[in-house]
Amino acid sequence: MTESPSRFIRDGIECEEVQSARRLSESLLWTLQEEYYASQSLNAWERVPFYSTSRMMFVGAIAELVNSFLLDCIDEFDPQSPIYILELGGGSGCFAYRFINHLKELMGDFERLKKLELRYILSDFTKSNIDAHLSNLRLKPFFDSGELDVGVYSPENDTAIKLEVSGALLERGALKNPLLVIANYLFDTIKHDAFRVVDGSLQETKFALFREVSRQSDSDSDRDGSGSRLSGSDYDQDGSDARRTNPTIQEIRMSEVYSDLELPYYRDPHLDSILHFYRSELSDSSVIFPIGAMRSIANLSHLAADKLALFVSDKGFASLESKQVLGLRTQEFAEHGAFSFDVNFDALQRYVENRGGNALIESGDHSSLGFMFATTWKPTCELTRHFFRQYLQKRDICNASYNLEEFTFVGCEKGQNFVRPYLTNFISIVQSSNFDPFIFDGAFARLFENLVPELTEMDLEQEHEVTDLVGRTFRNVFNVANDYCDLAAIFEFCMCWQKYEFCLALAKEANASLGVSRKAFDYAAIASEHLDRREDAYEYFRQALELEPDHDWAREGMERNKPQ
């Protein structure tokens, strides 16, 4: 490798240095990350995966865990004061919407919980996401009832949060009850450090950033905001590294430099004792260290006056024998518009326990989701532990259901081998997904040919069951990134079932509760046509055309139903 101050050749490709080697948590990467999310707002979810932590099986599992915790700690709660559930990095808001509905339903089964007043706070570090949630019609009933509030909150930096709707300031001393915190795919997104243990010595891994010059010019012609770009002033903040170039996350490459380190490193005994442990217990290992998550826990614990319960779901590893740790290897991030690192749940558990709390972790070693349930004090949590152990650890229901979905869809595609009745299969698939609209859509599309003839042959009992199933699935629809596929599948199902009144009612409800959409007007129009309500059909087709002026099908519909 030949090297000049800013340009060098690596693997035969000309590269440019973006930032010299430094501690990972001090890297420009995190500025790029924040800029990406702040600039993309809700459009981020066109590229950043969200399905895994928004699907109904996952929502159901976290709601069960929280419900168990409420039952466990019922005697610790003051029913005269609200119990806050704070979601960090809430992203699209889909999880929040589905979770509130689901938890309310679960709590309704327990007389003891009815006296509790819950407030859900959907937070994110960027105001643009919060503003979008405030105008989301699906969330509006919860804002109106006071069950939901939103706030800008950066857990690595803040120890208080101002709520946008109620105006309340949540800070230390203001909470009368323990604070429940949910973090889904957040700790993999915020700051990390990295270390290696080599021959019994601890090394700090520093990261230099560079980019391939050819890639830079490729992407210079594609400046449509699909990747984060540093502004000149941000990039100049570090005088020695100032470059007049604007890297995106996609362009960034990392190289590592190692140097021996002495403890204490963080000058925080809760953190340094973990490094001590790693130095004494590991040999030839590479350790990513979730320092952002740990700072977040410290800040949240302060806010909650040390009564903090954490429900964390993330990709990562729990065992120090996992492939992410063993051996001297380079750290890598996954790029998906933004980027993410694997979360070291082992370090998180040790950190919580060092602070006097308890933590249960589930190995995400061979799957996309790992879990931690932690409290910064030591309440008796029998039911929560039971659910965690039986369902998240032993049966690993979130990851198992994810894999089963794929398996089921492959089965559906080979539908001719399915045993009749297809309707029973369809009902089972949707029920076992916990009424997930995406699964409804996928199963309906794949079973369509064989299923549709059966829809009009249902007995009364099945009619009730399917009505309930469609209603529940519809309630779970939450459009992310303007994707109306799930909604269209439900309408189409009702049309094939020849339930035109039901389809019409759902289409009206969709326009009212999700915002007006061409799809809802389309189906309201054809349902009205089937019901021989020509004037209504004409009007719905007209409204569909108004939303999409080159929608020829709606124009033809208007022509067919034109008032005489």
Ligand X SMILES: C[S@@+](CC[C@H](N)C(=O)[O-])C[C@H]1O[C@@H](n2cnc3c(N)ncnc32)[C@H](O)[C@@H]1O
Residue of 91, 151, 364, 442 interacting with ligand X (CB under 6 A): 91
Give the contact letters, 474-503, x = binds to ligand X (CB under 6 A), - = no: ------------------------------
Contact 42, 129 (CB under 8 A): yes
Q: Residue 187: beta bridge partners? A: none
Our CB check for ligand X shows the closer of 189 and 511 to be: 189
Interface with ligand X includes 35 (CB under 6 A)?
A: no
Our CB check for ligand X shows the closer of 295 and 355 to be: 295
Q: Which H or E run includes 9?
A: strand 7-10
> Is 26 buried (19+), middle (13-18) or exposed (0-12) by CB count in 10 A?
middle
Shortest gap between Cβ of 38 and ligand X (angstroms)? 8
Our CB check for ligand X shows the closer of 252 and 470 to be: 252
Closest CA to 139 of 122, 158, 115: 122
| CA pair distance 563, 559, nearest whole angstrom | 9
Shortest gap between Cβ of 482 and ligand X (angstroms)? 16
Interface with ligand X includes 290 (CB under 6 A)?
A: no
Question: 52 to 81, contacts with ligand X by CB under 6 A?
Answer: 53-54
Quote the crossing angle between the two packed helices 94-107 and 56-72, to the nearest 10°: 50
Question: 96 to 155, contacts with ligand X by CB under 6 A?
Answer: 124-126, 129, 154-155
Stretch that binds ligand X, among 87-95, 97-105, 159-167, 264-272 (CB under 6 A): 87-95
| CA pair distance 276, 264, nearest whole angstrom | 9
In this chain, which residue has its C-beta nearest to ligand X?
91
Shortest gap between Cβ of 125 and ligand X (angstroms)? 4
| CA pair distance 371, 390, nearest whole angstrom | 13
Residues 6+ apart with CB under 8 A from 182: 62, 66, 85, 86, 87, 88, 95, 99, 311, 312
| CA pair distance 486, 56, nearest whole angstrom | 13
Residue of 17, 50, 55, 69 interacting with ligand X (CB under 6 A): 50
| CA pair distance 492, 498, nearest whole angstrom | 10
- Give the residue carrying structure tokens 């995966």: 49
Shortest gap between Cβ of 190 and ligand X (angstroms)? 5
Structure tokens at 194: 């990295």
Interface with ligand X includes 37 (CB under 6 A)?
A: yes
Give the contact letters, 292-331, x = binds to ligand X (CB under 6 A), - = no: ----------------------------------------
Interface with ligand X includes 438 (CB under 6 A)?
A: no
Our CB check for ligand X shows the closer of 53 and 285 to be: 53
Residue of 24, 48, 197, 293 interacting with ligand X (CB under 6 A): 48
Structure tokens at 373: 């349930």
Our CB check for ligand X shows the closer of 40 and 425 to be: 40
Structure tokens at 102: 């689901």
Interface with ligand X: number of residues (CB under 6 A): 23
Question: 167 to 226, contacts with ligand X by CB under 6 A?
Answer: 184-186, 189-190
Shortest gap between Cβ of 60 and ligand X (angstroms)? 15
Distances (CA, A) of 248 to 33, 163, 486: 9, 33, 33
Our CB check for ligand X shows the closer of 103 and 537 to be: 103
Q: Residue 362: beta bridge partners? A: 371
- Residues interacting with ligand X, by CB under 6 A? 33-34, 37, 48, 50, 53-54, 89-92, 124-126, 129, 154-156, 184-186, 189-190
